[in-house]
Amino acid sequence: MTLGSAADLVHELKSKGYKITRQREAILKVLSSDECRLMTAQQIYEEVNATMPGTNFSTVYRNLEVLTQENIVQKIEINRDAAYYELAPDRDHHHHHLICKSCGSIKTTDFCPFEAMKDEDGFMPVEHRFEVYGYCKNCKQ
Amino acid sequence: MTLGSAADLVHELKSKGYKITRQREAILKVLSSDECRLMTAQQIYEEVNATMPGTNFSTVYRNLEVLTQENIVQKIEINRDAAYYELAPDRDHHHHHLICKSCGSIKTTDFCPFEAMKDEDGFMPVEHRFEVYGYCKNCKQ
DNA sequence: CTCGTTGCAAAGGCTTTGCAACGGC
DNA sequence: GCCGTTGCAAAGCCTTTGCAACGAG
């Protein structure tokens, strides 16, 4: 699976029968921008409106839902304040999160505990979440 | 640290300057009942009202917040529908969760990936969450 | 032209908060 | 009696939904 560029993702959506709107393109562009992104709907909304002014909050939410269902985006519910979204593991490299309890910054780590896990009586694992909370380099004085 | 019985926890709260009310006792009793519990505020509210009819939702929430801050209870935000609460790892044995994507049942596992994690450049870990989503014995046909 | 998509506004659902009454200690 | 706690009702906040207008193919 190729690491998703915005254009690739647009193409993929199209081939699945979805229409390509300027709003949809803007959202995909934000999500697949260079740096590793873990964003709230609010943040995505703001960045999208920088290129596509007038785009509605509902539109962002509805598209994030479509993208999540099509497994292009992964929804992460770290805390109840707001859900986070990022490119799905298939599109990006598999990783986990280091979350600073002080400044809220989120780093990614390649360490994955999943392989080490022994069989759990009868349970068939499909997905997993591993998040570490602590203090980042700047905040740990 | 002793595994918290309701009486112990009541005593601990008292020694920290909190007043002991019948509502508070009922909440602690529910949380520290025999089986490993991972409950929503709604579920706690219902069980508390079985012994203390008339207890308000706000009271449950306010107490859960106090208990979380005093590190007696741990708040787990698995999905946005509702937060889950359980005795904090210090009070209970350390464990993680196996969550069935079909029936929603939650089992616990003693497997913990934390020791295996290598140092992450400058990040000082304090807490961690590891949750595995999949299908339980009954649902995995 | 058709049917998916958007904007708008309102509703939903969990959680929090203001305030007066209550009740541990 | 004091001050933390409760009950009640209302508000907050993220997210979802109904509906008419829009627009991609």
Per the structure, the residues numbered 52 to 91 in protein chain A that have their CB within 7 angstroms of any atom of strand D are 57-58, 61-62, 65, 81-83
The predicted-structure confidence for B8-52, as pLDDT tens digits, reads as follows 999 999 999 999 999 999 999 999 986 667 899 999 999 999 999
Q: At what angle do helices B41-51 and B57-69 cross, to 10 degrees?
A: 110
User: Strand order in B124-135's β-sheet?
Assistant: A106-109, A96-100, A124-135, B124-135, B96-100, B106-109
Lowest mean pLDDT among A3-7, B8-12, B119-123, B133-137: A3-7
**Mean pLDDT of all residues in A75-85:** 88
| Strand D contact at CB of residue A100, distance < 7 A | no
B119 and chain A: CB distance < 8 Å anywhere? no
Contact B130, B96 (CB under 8 A): yes
State chain B's mean pLDDT as an integer.
Answer: 88
- Rounded Cα gap, residues A65 and A74, in angstroms: 10
Strand D bases with any atom < 7 A from protein Cβ:
4-10, 13-18, 23-25
Best mean pLDDT range from A5-14, A41-50, A117-126:
A41-50
The pTM (predicted TM-score) of the whole model is 0.85
| Strand C contact at CB of residue B79, distance < 7 A | no
Which residues from chain A sit within 8 angstroms of residue B116, using beta carbons? 111, 113, 116
